[in-house]
Chains A and B, each alone.
Chain A
Amino acid sequence: MEEFTCIICPNGCKIKVEKIEDGFKVEGNICKRGYEFAINEMTNPKRSLCTTVKTSYKDFPRLPVKTDREIPKDMIFKVMEEINKINLTHMVKSNDIIIENVLGTGANIVSTCDMELIFKEE
């Protein structure tokens, strides 16, 4: 049996999950989302990752990026290593792909910033 604090909503339910013969026994959740969260957390915990990549622009040395879907929690540092290899030399918009299918996780590393919008003079 494992215990998790649910991160879906501010209630922060303490949920107990136990693997039983034909599924899972879940206790302590007050809603269905907590039920699903706890089972995922026990079987395949996933997280989204937000970080930055280096750019060659002097006035904008770091571009914020994210994974466009959740990746397995234990892949986070390996994915960081891949992201840290990048040096971006062209302008990008939000959602432009920086790394496709990073380490075969199915997730792309995408930009979360429209550089032109930032650079445009008011």
Chain B
Amino acid sequence: MEFYDVVVLGAGPAGLAAGLSSYEEGANTLIIEREKYPGGILKQCIHDGFGLVEFKERLTGPEYAERFIKMVRNKKIPILTSTFVTSIKKEEEIFILSVVSKDGIIKVGAKAIILANGCRERTSKQIGIHGTRPSGVMTAGLAQYFVNIMGYLPCKKCIILGSGDIGLIMARRLTLEGAKVLGVYEVKNSPSGLTRNIVQCLNDFSIPLYLSKTITKISGDDRVEGVEICDVDENMKPIKGTEKFIECDGVILSVGLIPENEIAESLNVEIDNATKGPYVDQNFMTKVDGIFSCGNALHVNDLVDYVTESGRLAGKSAAKYASSKYKRALNPIEIPLNKFLYAVPQYIDINSDNNKVVMYLRSRDIVKNVKVIIKSRNEILYEKRYTHLNPPEMERIVFDFNRSSLNDYSIKILMQEG
């Protein structure tokens, strides 16, 4: 059996960054990828807008991935592609991974594991749409794979349900390739995607965006023939009598992403109900010693640049942990869930020699002119005024804490007017 200090699951943006920083910190590192090529979902995200934070450039997805693949290859960090981890067990102080690859089933040992296996799309089954199950109903990511990787146009006249960014990007992409996008339907009363995507993907191509509307039924035997659209009330429940039939041959779903945590759960890693990803401390270690999480497996990011950053931080911490294990003392960070959707990390390890916290958070509602304050006892660790907070746009903040003053006091996040 081969042994590594750190094994990274996933060679997308999070895994590549994690593998690089773990290696640079001196750890013997292995990256495992289930697909044939590294790069993750970036391979099919051919649009630009990636890397503005990381490289101060506007790159396409493949270009962004290529930079990290090249760095990993230059350092000769091994990537096992077409390889799938089926289970992980902890034996004494070592994690034993069962791995299926073209060489058969092998075992790999690791002192620390980084979960960088991304997120998955919510499907029609998860949003409870009624009707038959014809072909032509697919997630936006699948449509993107068909068009950008395979070169197939999966529909000629479609509607998009949900105004998430991938849905908006696909509205433009399908239009460019000659399909007619009849409209984007959003059940909430505000769009989920970034404003700039509403402008450059919908408005530029005169694709209508309908708010407070949803699909109540899909019709068609072999192929989608149409959908029933309904207005919804303030509780997002369909209003009777507002049903309208729209003829189409495709339904593209952009109804949210959920961190993939099958392996995390098998290791009894505790999951935060707010992020749907693991609870972590400022070193991106989950509540199970030696298991780290980063990127979209941790929480769904809107910019890949922050996926990379969390991967890099997790990689560094995992390498440090593999070289010398330490005992943690986790203090929870208190967050008012009526003001925020979530904040990551959720814990501070006050035993760690890392007293710099990189925190990602989202407000629950669209709010204007507020102050976000991070406080411990009476000490203000961080304070920033925002003219504008919008749930689809994640905020990143960095603060330091003083270990000695933190003993027994939790850190609180507050949002105040002003």
Binding site for B on A (CB under 8 A): 5, 7-8, 10-12, 47-52, 54, 61-62, 64, 66, 73, 76-77, 80, 94, 112-114, 117-118, 122
With A and B bound together, what is the CA distance between A20 and B70 in angstroms? 51
With A and B bound together, what is the CA distance between A10 and B200 in angstroms? 13
Residue contact B148 to A47, C-beta cutoff 8 Å = no
Q: Nearest A residue to B196 by beta-carbon distance?
A: A7
Q: Which of B37, B47, B63, B150 contacts A62 (CB 8 A)?
A: B150
CB distance from B168 to the nearest CB of A (A): 12
9-residue interface stretch from B16-24, B310-318, B371-379, B387-395 = B387-395
Q: Nearest B residue to A79 by beta-carbon distance?
A: B176
Q: Which of B62, B78, B387 contacts A64 (CB 8 A)?
A: B62
Instruction: Let me know if B204 is at the binding interface, CB within 8 A.
Output: yes
Residue contact A62 to B151, C-beta cutoff 8 Å = yes
Residue contact A122 to B81, C-beta cutoff 8 Å = yes
Residue contact A48 to B63, C-beta cutoff 8 Å = no
CB distance from A122 to the nearest CB of B (A): 5
Q: A10-B393, A61-B151, A62-B149 are in contact. Are A76 and B176 (CB under 8 A)?
A: yes
Q: Which of A50, A73, A113 contacts B47 (CB 8 A)?
A: A50
Known: A47-B200, A61-B150, A117-B73. 8 other contacts (CB 8 A): A7-B200, A52-B147, A54-B151, A62-B148, A94-B66, A112-B62, A113-B63, A122-B79
With A and B bound together, what is the CA distance between A85 and B37 in angstroms? 28
Residue contact A10 to B194, C-beta cutoff 8 Å = yes
Instruction: Let me know if B369 is at the binding interface, CB within 8 A.
Output: no
Q: Which of A10, A52, A66 contacts B196 (CB 8 A)?
A: A10
21 pairs, CB–CB < 8 Å, chain A vs chain B? A5-B198, A5-B203, A7-B196, A10-B194, A10-B195, A10-B388, A10-B390, A47-B200, A49-B176, A50-B47, A51-B173, A51-B176, A61-B150, A61-B151, A62-B149, A62-B150, A73-B204, A80-B176, A113-B62, A117-B73, A122-B78
Q: Nearest B residue to A73 by beta-carbon distance?
A: B204
Instruction: Let me know if B322 is at the binding interface, CB within 8 A.
Output: no
Q: Nearest A residue to B205 by beta-carbon distance?
A: A76
Residue contact A112 to B150, C-beta cutoff 8 Å = no
Residue contact A50 to B69, C-beta cutoff 8 Å = no
Please name all residues of chain A whose beta carbon is closer than 8 Å to the beta carbon of B196 when the two chains form the complex: 7-8, 10, 12
Q: A51-B176, A62-B149, A66-B60 are in contact. Are A112 and B46 (CB under 8 A)?
A: yes
Q: Which of B78, B79, B148 contacts A52 (CB 8 A)?
A: B148
With A and B bound together, what is the CA distance between A99 and B73 in angstroms? 30
Residue contact B195 to A66, C-beta cutoff 8 Å = no
Instruction: Let me know if B93 is at the binding interface, CB within 8 A.
Output: no
With A and B bound together, what is the CA distance between A66 and B57 in angstroms? 14
With A and B bound together, what is the CA distance between A46 and B61 in angstroms? 21
CB distance from B106 to the nearest CB of A (A): 15
Q: A5-B199, A50-B48 are in contact. Are A122 and B80 (CB under 8 A)?
A: yes
What 10 pairs between A and B have smallest CB-CB spacing? Answer: A12-B195, A64-B46, A7-B196, A62-B151, A112-B60, A113-B62, A61-B151, A50-B47, A7-B199, A10-B393
With A and B bound together, what is the CA distance between A10 and B396 in angstroms? 14
With A and B bound together, what is the CA distance between A51 and B147 in angstroms? 10
Residue contact B151 to A52, C-beta cutoff 8 Å = yes
CB distance from B40 to the nearest CB of A (A): 13
CB interface residues, B 196-210, toward A, < 8 Å: 196, 198-200, 203-204
Residue contact A11 to B388, C-beta cutoff 8 Å = yes
Please name all residues of chain A whose beta carbon is closer than 8 Å to the beta carbon of B387 when the two chains form the complex: 11
CB interface residues, B 41-99, toward A, < 8 Å: 46-48, 58, 60-63, 66, 69-70, 73, 78-81
Q: Which of B66, B78, B198 contacts A114 (CB 8 A)?
A: B66
Please name all residues of chain A whose beta carbon is closer than 8 Å to the beta carbon of B46 when the two chains form the complex: 50-52, 64, 66, 112
Please name all residues of chain A whose beta carbon is closer than 8 Å to the beta carbon of B390 when the two chains form the complex: 10
Residue contact A47 to B204, C-beta cutoff 8 Å = yes
Q: Which of B70, B177, B393 contacts A117 (CB 8 A)?
A: B70
Please name all residues of chain A whose beta carbon is closer than 8 Å to the beta carbon of B203 when the two chains form the complex: 5
Please name all residues of chain A whose beta carbon is closer than 8 Å to the beta carbon of B69 when the two chains form the complex: 117
CB distance from A97 to the nearest CB of B (A): 15
With A and B bound together, what is the CA distance between A113 and B46 in angstroms? 9
